[in-house]
Structure 1
Amino acid sequence: MRRMEHASKLTCVVLVAALMGLPLRGFAGAEVPDSPARAKPPSDTSLMGDTDEEPLFLTLSLSLSSPSARGVVKPASKADVAVGQGTGLPGGTSGEHLHMSLSPSLSLFSVEPSIRENMADLVPEGKEDGETGFTSRESLFGGNVPLKEKPSPVPMWKQLATGWRGFSQLEIADTYADPEHLSKAKLRTELSRTGQFSEHIKWKISGRFDYDAAYDLSNFYPPGVRRDQRYEFFLRENYLDVSAGDFDFRLGRQHVIWGEMVGLFFADVVSAKDMREFVLPSFDIIRIPQWAMRAEYSKNDIHAEVVWIPVPTLDESGKPGADFYPGPLRGTAGFLPEDRSGRNVAHSNYGVRLSQLKNGWDISGFYYHSLDAAPTFYRVSAPTDPLVFQARHDEIDQVGATLAKDFGSVVLKGELIYTDGRKFNVARPNAIDGLVRQNTLDYVLGLDFSLPAETRLNLQFFQRVFFTHDPALVTDKLEQGASILLNGKVWHNVEAQALLIHSLNRSDWMFRPRLSWNFERNWRAALGADVFGGQPTGLFGRFDQSDRVYTELRYSF
């Protein structure tokens, strides 16, 4: 029993010693040195002088002695702890006590180099002198210094998905001539996007989608017209611009505009046109881009331009039975499908244009060879058979000039075009294909006045001269006409406009009043009418049964 008590007490002492040593070792921050050579002898001086810099270490030594060794054991000091029991431990002599002494000692040893070495490993890379890495408050708790982050690259798909411009427009028209009918309920949306690959290489992409619900809501028009004008997707301008010093190159589908007057086209010979609504839409809607290669040279006040169109785009004229189909003898003659077989590289278009600004006069001259974008109606029936025509396209050559001069509140404009190779319909039965070749000269002069109260007045006079005029032609040797445009604001966001174009050879005219209201930013509403009058053989009188009123709602972005 005594041996068991000795063993139990001895176990308790060992546990107490271990528990006392562990906290002190953790406080010191380093392992206990095994070699006495590393420990400093305890002294009051060392304790007082080094405790602020070096950690304190406490060691406990355990010794067991038997009675036979008592004679040689020195008396225990005050620091010694003696535990005596009446029973001996197993293995000892029966009836004798085992003495266990715990000798604590304090030692100081330097761990600063090791600590500094370990702390140096914690300092992050890239720190400048004077920064303390993880030992600073900012690094531990998040200072006020913002972190510098590299901007992430913008993906190409995201670049293409943003930055689009365009408009969406709803157009509704009602033809009030007998028989009255809904002639248009069109939703038109156009999108465009520009960008650049570098300072000298830029690009543009654009497209337009039209859907006209009038051809689904009514069966008034023939099936061919409904299929042709119900919906359509247009590739608009899609090109690549490359600049190199004084030279600029544009490759792709593009507008090439060499002239622009009010209401009608004269020197604008390169652009194809959508004539399915005659000249009623705005010119940016009517024009159809060409797939072209264009080179331009600019130096001081001189500008040179060369254009090549490998496969030309032609006018859109519509189908027989449409409101503005341009075929002769509408309602009495028959028509075959249009022949566009000439659209190939063998009949490519090309031209050159030179212009100069001299003393405020902007003068240009051009030559253009092309497959005529406007159709010529060949008679394909025998002279004694019912009349049947087919639209075809012939090659023509054109030479022209334009001028413009700003006199302050008045701007003078003029265009002149000589056309060789174009054919015209004649009423003579023995004429081959019902056509005769005629060279013509067209010119127009216009004055644009800027009047008070934000009012604009435009006056134009135009003529067409037929050389070697054939008496069987419906037109006179000298065809002439005039136009007047008046535009002004009637309220701060309401604008009124009226355009009248009249033939001076016969009672043949077109009148277009219009009222626009910009009721919100990027929003515009319009109300207007397109009215025609004159003989059925005239340029405008042939559409006498196509008078209409219309309304528009447009959002631009």
Structure 2
Amino acid sequence: VQLDYAARPDLTASPDRAGLGRDGFVLGEERLQLKLEARSADGAWAALAKPELYHDAVAERGGTTLREGYLDAVRGAWDVRLGRQIITWGVGDLVFINDVFPKDYAAFFSGRPLEYLKRGVDAIDVNYQSDTLSAELVVVPAGLFTPDHLPPRERFSQFDPFPALPRTTDEPAARHSNTEAALRLHATWGETELAVYAYRGFWRAGAFAPDDPAAPTRAIRFFPRLGVLGASARRGGLGGVWSAEIGYYDSRDDPRGDNPAIENSQFRFLIAHQRQLATDFTASIEYYGEWMQDHAAYRRAVPTGFPASRELRDLVGVRLTKLLRYQTLKFSLFTFYSPAAHDFFANPEVSYQFSDRFSATLGGNIFGGPAQTFFGMLGHNDDAYLSARFSF
């Protein structure tokens, strides 16, 4: 059983309170998750399902969802998983280069547990393991595309280029050419873990455009085609662990970079280091960048009055974690700061494990920076959240 509540202290700053509950609650949710498992005696097959029943007190509605649900079949070096599953690739901490699978940013910025940042994807996942190489192929059949869940404008104050228009979504059509495929090859060379990645699919965050630029009646969210090639590495050094990751994003529906509604092609890169500074005290730092290609063409195409993205968007991320009371009490702080844009995000959090069955977390999300920056545009969405989890 999970209880999640988040409130926004600055009510007057929000231009639209229609999606907020009484007293400024942006999240008020009770959720029951069941975990059902079965496996054969010889380990040749297994099944798992995590159905959830929830009540959203802010929206005053409830429902059911399937968090995960899949069937595993194992034979020798091969492992096939079929169904809804959560897949994580890459080495970044809250930044994603070769992790091309769906995210739930609304859940994350509302203060729900970090595990809910990842959404399940309906896919076929084929794994092969050997002493020298492992390979993973993920195929999402056409018609089963899962987009990112973005912060809704009813509950989050943010820049909206089409504030008066209703929204519709145009997902990729269920035809063979829209099948998604992602491949990861992983090997260890000496003390270094290496991986290469490839993906053919769509921008999951999507893009927005009016149905008729001259006389718009609605804003359409659509999903341009995307190709990704990348690599990552991880090894020990300087008393901790170094990691690095790169990726090239090929924006296949905007090859010249002159469509401001669609993300340009870009290089993404990351370098990070994590180490233990003292007993039960760890720290990590990472530098992440997105280098937009064809930036001049993009700037020429941006409509007057719209915020323009920088050619280089960068972030410095820092995470500090301290454990106390036999590791039952945890203090953590995660921050992002952009040296180029001077905007920031901070997530302080304290959690306590009262017993094996009950834990609670108190934290907050803080945004700031110039009004035209990514985190600055979210500056009116600061919140404090409380979560409690009971297991039985």
Are 1:406 and 2:236 counterparts? yes
Are 1:211 and 2:55 counterparts? yes
Partner-residue secondary structure (3-state), 1:276: helix
Q: 1:344 & 1:206 partners in 2: Cα distance?
A: 29
**2:225 touches 2:253 (CA, 8 Å); kept in 1?**
no
Q: 2:286 aligns with which of 430, 440, 460?
A: 460
**Corresponding residue of 2:153:** 320
**Shift in Å, 1:456:** 1.0
Partner-residue secondary structure (3-state), 1:306: strand
1:128-147 to 2 correspondences below 5 Å: none
The amino acid across from 2:74 in the alignment is S
**Shift in Å, 1:260:** 4.4
Partner-residue secondary structure (3-state), 2:105: coil
**Corresponding residue of 2:37:** 194
Q: 2:369 & 2:52 partners in 1: Cα distance?
A: 35
Q: 2:75 & 2:324 partners in 1: Cα distance?
A: 48
Are 1:170 and 2:14 counterparts? no
Query: What stretches of structure 1 of length at least 5 have no aligned partner?
Result: 1-167, 217-229, 425-430
Partner-residue secondary structure (3-state), 1:334: coil
1:329-368 to 2 correspondences below 5 Å: 329=161, 332=163, 334-368=165-199
Partner-residue secondary structure (3-state), 1:414: strand
CA pair 468-173 structure 1, distance change in 2 beyond 3 A:
same
**Larger RCO (CA under 8 A, 6+ residues apart):** 2
1:513-552 to 2 correspondences below 5 Å: 513-552=348-387
Partner-residue secondary structure (3-state), 1:337: strand
> Max radius of gyration: which structure?
1
**Corresponding residue of 2:339:** 504
**Corresponding residue of 2:28:** 185
CA pair 312-209 structure 1, distance change in 2 beyond 3 A:
same
Are 1:416 and 2:242 counterparts? no
CA pair 536-375 structure 1, distance change in 2 beyond 3 A:
farther
Q: 2:160 & 2:30 partners in 1: Cα distance?
A: 31
**2:4 touches 2:112 (CA, 8 Å); kept in 1?**
no
Partner-residue secondary structure (3-state), 2:299: coil
**Shift in Å, 1:463:** 0.7
1:246-257 to 2 correspondences below 5 Å: 246-257=77-88
Partner-residue secondary structure (3-state), 1:471: helix
Partner-residue secondary structure (3-state), 2:205: coil
Task: Give aligned-pair identity as a percent.
Answer: 20
The amino acid across from 2:87 in the alignment is V
Query: What stretches of structure 2 of length at least 5 have no aligned partner?
Result: 13-22, 303-307
Q: 1:274 aligns with which of 96, 101, 104?
A: 104
Are 1:440 and 2:274 counterparts? no
CA pair 231-415 structure 1, distance change in 2 beyond 3 A:
farther
The amino acid across from 1:505 in the alignment is A
**Shift in Å, 1:176:** 0.7
Count residues with an aligned counterpart: 366
TM-score of the pair, normalised by structure 1: 0.61
**Corresponding residue of 2:315:** 481
The amino acid across from 2:209 in the alignment is Y
The amino acid across from 1:210 in the alignment is Y
Q: Which has the higher strand share?
A: 2
Q: 1:303 & 1:177 partners in 2: Cα distance?
A: 50
**Shift in Å, 1:544:** 1.0
CA pair 246-489 structure 1, distance change in 2 beyond 3 A:
closer
Partner-residue secondary structure (3-state), 2:34: strand
CA pair 231-537 structure 1, distance change in 2 beyond 3 A:
farther
CA pair 243-486 structure 1, distance change in 2 beyond 3 A:
same
